Amino acid sequence: MATATLPAPGLPAPSTTPARRRPSRSTGATAARIAALAVAVALTLGPVVWTLWVSLTPATSDGASLDAYRDVGQQISLGLLVLNSALVTGLVALGQMLTAALAGYAFARMEFRGRGALFALVLATMMVPLQVTIVPVFMLVRGMGLADTLLALILPAIPTAFGTFLMRQYFLGLPPELGEAAAIDGAGPLRTFASVYAPLAAPGMAIVGILAFNFHWNEFFRPLVLTISEQNFTLPLGLVSLQGNLGTGSVSTVLAGVVISMIPALIVFVIGQRPLREGLTAGASK
């Protein structure tokens, strides 16, 4: 027969109620982070969801329909506008990837007089707003006979100070012993760049290309100034005509055009998500 254990004389009896756990501070911090992320997601995706919803529910329809998207194709030359934007944006992105990689490699791995001053001058151009340089660029483009052409949008946008800075920092993070080994084997600077450093710098070049595509696909100011003919308009310029005179156009039609313009940028981001993530985390993983 089991006997109950009695407390020693003079000592209080042990409590039989279970001890309550104190709320952990980490639980409150986690809840606060989740709430902050929820607010950020709502602020980011809210306008996108609203745009999609309004484009699918025009005022002339009782329910969801694609009438607004059909109106976009009827009111503007959608195929030509998309082709112009894709041509301009694609060539600008490729040009920036190539020129930024070459310039970044030169500033990072090649020794020449005035390298530091020249790089500082390149960085200083990032402080000059586009509105200041658009008039000289227009005069140069017109002097070259390229006014009101797609080349007027492509050539001035290829040099990129930010891309040069980004690729220089990327090349500085790569082992210099690779270039030294290639030089011992008799490879020149260009051969070393093409065979050794360029394949390793592909994630960094992908970052430059994706950022250039996203920026120039939605660009409005430069095409507005440098192009006149509708056949040379890019998609953002064409979407403005959907508003009609004095903004009398259908809101659903305008937002349907906006949704169409977001699709290519979304596709490029999904395709380039892996190299973008690898490029952004390359410095942190070393």
What are the sequence ranges of the domains in the chain?
69-281
Distance CA 84, CA 81 (A): 5
Banded pLDDT at 160 (limits 50, 70, 90):
very high
The pLDDT confidence band at residue 164, using thresholds 50, 70 and 90, is very high
Cβ pair 160, 96 in contact under 8 A: yes
Asked if pLDDT for residue 284 goes beyond 50, the answer is no
Helix-, strand-, coil-residue percentages of the chain, each rounded to 5? 70, 0, 30
Q: What whole-number distance in Å separates Cα of residue 78 and Cα of residue 83?
A: 8
Q: What is the 3-state secondary structure (H, E, C) of 20-71?
A: CCCCCHHHHHHHHHHHHHHHHHHHHHHHHHHHHHHHHCCCCCCCCCCHHHHH
Phi, psi at 197, each rounded to 5°: -85, -35
Across 63-91, average pLDDT: 90
Tell me, what's the pLDDT at 27? Answer: 83
Mean pLDDT of 5-12: 56
Winning range, highest mean pLDDT, from 24-38, 43-57, 176-190, 232-246: 43-57
Please give the share of the chain, as a percent, with pLDDT higher than 90.
37
> Over 90: is that where the pLDDT of 83 sits?
yes
Kindly tell me the sign of the dihedral angle through the C-alpha atoms of 219, 225, 226, 229: positive
Work out the average pLDDT over 94-107: 94
Per-residue pLDDT reduced to its tens digit, 228-280: 988 999 999 988 888 766 555 688 888 899 899 999 888 888 887 776 666 55
pLDDT at 186: 84
What pLDDT, on a 0 to 100 scale, did the predictor assign at position 10?
Answer: 57
- Note whether 206 and 188 are within 8 A (CB): no
Looking at domain 69-281, its CATH class is mainly alpha
